[in-house]
Chain A
Amino acid sequence: MTAVLLVPLILPFLAPTLARRTLDRLAPATALWVLTASALALAGACVAALGALVLTGLLKLPAFATLGELIHPLRTPSDYVVVPAATAATGVLTLSVLTLVRSALRQARAFRAARTQADRRPAAGDLCVVDSPHADAYALPGRPHRIVVTTAMLRSLGPVEREALFAHERAHNRAGHHYFLAAAELAAHCHPALRRARDDIRLAAERAADEAAAGVIGNRRLIATAIARAALAGNASPSSRPDFAPAATTGPVPQRVAALLAPAGRRSRATRPTAFLLVVCALFSVAAGAAGVIDFHHAVEVAQGEEGP
């Protein structure tokens, strides 16, 4: 019983590799859906498995066994396995919940601050300009949607590139990408291996917005130059940027630029099935989690004397 509950804990470690494959082989908007749904499924199965392990451990304690109206001892593998597993699961689950709550509060605060700031000034259409020497731009979801852009960013771009930036941010708002990003954040706090998947989901959202902007502007190269110019402008301004991450891999911005400079629709059909390996992995994880939980439920009912062994 305990063994099958370990499957949802181990499978997410495959997610980073498979997620990368999904992102490379599907259209960005599709990849965004597939990645987010899979990450949520993996995270959900993981939490369910941890929960079952915690309960198993708790029901081993006489006090909780009485509380759970158990008349027989819960039938589990050796205590030498179950007790450490349950203890570890409790620790991991507590830690996840704490980091998740902290992150959620922080996100909510940042969002409220951004919203108040944008609502205080009149907007031209959906554009909200912040007078700042720091080149930056972001999409602000909510009612009404806003695009927040700094003056330094506006100045670093040409007329068509500005339109490209606006189109990109509008695509984020129109497609509700903030929901996907929030889901990615949630999944990342459930299992450490899903943090890499969160980065892939972020990249997929950016790519989807890039392609949508390319559709509006009608020129992929223009979007690519706009992104590159904006990124370089943002970097040139002095910022208190902590230089962590030795950057052995290419960051998201060059990947986006390279993808836009490559001809559209170069994804070959033959390699597409591997894009869905992540979905298979997620389904397998959910199935194992469900089997484990059902099994646990059965064991509890047996211990309660409601069912024969």
Chain B
Amino acid sequence: MRDRNSGEGGAAAGRRARGELESAVLGALWAADGPLTGRQVLEQLPGNLAYTTVLTILSRLHAKGMLVRQPADRGYAYAPVRDEAADTAVRMHSLLERGSDRAAVLSRFVSELSPEDEQLLQRLLGGQDAGHDEDGP
């Protein structure tokens, strides 16, 4: 694989491409329940980024019209701009309808699970969270 930043995660995080940082910040804001301040966004990002970097990215995304902001303790709290209509989501569903090879060339992150798969995953995840290994069947 041609990875630009393979190796230690911490060191790699410091010199990630601008686009990747924008993705990470937007991802964190969408995952949050409400608007986040720069400080809160920083907490939601892995690696050790500088606070100023996060602020720069936030204002850049705001300038692109992807974020809305409101004043909050001595700065701004940011939230993603929601879709004007839900039709995109509907269209995406029809596009990715499960159980068919409709969009076989689009690599999905996870495919559908059978009930057995689900149990197995729960077990694997359980073993992982408890911090010990359980050998699968």
Q: Which residues from chain A sit less than 8 Å from chain B, CB to CB?
A: 29, 103, 106-107, 110-111, 113-114, 117, 121-122, 124-127, 129-134, 136-141, 147-151, 153-155, 157, 159-160, 162-163, 165-166, 168-172, 174-175, 177-178, 181-182, 184-185, 202, 205-206, 208-209, 211-212, 215-219, 221, 224-225, 227-232, 234-235, 239-242, 244-247, 250-254, 257-258, 261
Are A114 and B45 in touch, CB under 8 angstroms?
Answer: no
Q: Is B125 in contact with chain A by the CB < 8 A criterion?
A: yes
Give Cα A61–Cα B90 distance, bound, in whole angstroms: 54
With A131-B88, A171-B1, A218-B12 in contact, do A253 and B61 touch (Cβ < 8 Å)? no
With A138-B107, A235-B113, A247-B115 in contact, do A129 and B80 touch (Cβ < 8 Å)? yes
Are A160 and B46 in touch, CB under 8 angstroms?
Answer: yes
Q: Is B73 in contact with chain A by the CB < 8 A criterion?
A: no
Are B133 and A134 in touch, CB under 8 angstroms?
Answer: no
Supply 10 A–B pairs (Cβ within 8 Å), ascending by A.
Answer: A107-B104, A131-B88, A138-B109, A154-B31, A211-B1, A216-B3, A231-B111, A234-B113, A241-B99, A250-B116
| The one of A110, A121, A209, A228 that contacts B95, using a Cβ cutoff of 8 Å | A110
| The one of A122, A125, A219, A232 that contacts B122, using a Cβ cutoff of 8 Å | A232
Closest chain-B Cβ to A247's Cβ sits at a distance in Å of 3
Closest chain-A Cβ to B96's Cβ sits at a distance in Å of 6
Are A228 and B121 in touch, CB under 8 angstroms?
Answer: yes
Total A-B pairs in contact (CB under 8 Å)? 243
* Interface pairs A-B: 9 shortest CB-CB: A125-B19, A247-B114, A127-B23, A218-B9, A132-B89, A215-B6, A124-B22, A125-B23, A124-B26
Give Cα A118–Cα B50 distance, bound, in whole angstroms: 30
| The one of B6, B95, B120, B125 that contacts A225, using a Cβ cutoff of 8 Å | B125
Are A225 and B80 in touch, CB under 8 angstroms?
Answer: no
Give Cα A302–Cα B60 distance, bound, in whole angstroms: 75
Q: Which residues from chain B sit less than 8 Å from chain A, CB to CB?
A: 1-3, 5-10, 12, 17-28, 30-31, 44-46, 61, 64-66, 80, 82-83, 86, 88-89, 91-93, 95-99, 101-118, 120-122, 124-125, 128, 133, 136
| The one of A159, A211, A257 that contacts B45, using a Cβ cutoff of 8 Å | A159
A231 contact set on B, CB distance < 8 A: 110-111, 113, 117, 121
Give Cα A209–Cα B108 distance, bound, in whole angstroms: 11
Closest chain-B Cβ to A96's Cβ sits at a distance in Å of 15
A154 contact set on B, CB distance < 8 A: 27, 30-31
A127 contact set on B, CB distance < 8 A: 22-23, 26-27
Closest chain-B Cβ to A129's Cβ sits at a distance in Å of 5
Give Cα A185–Cα B82 distance, bound, in whole angstroms: 36
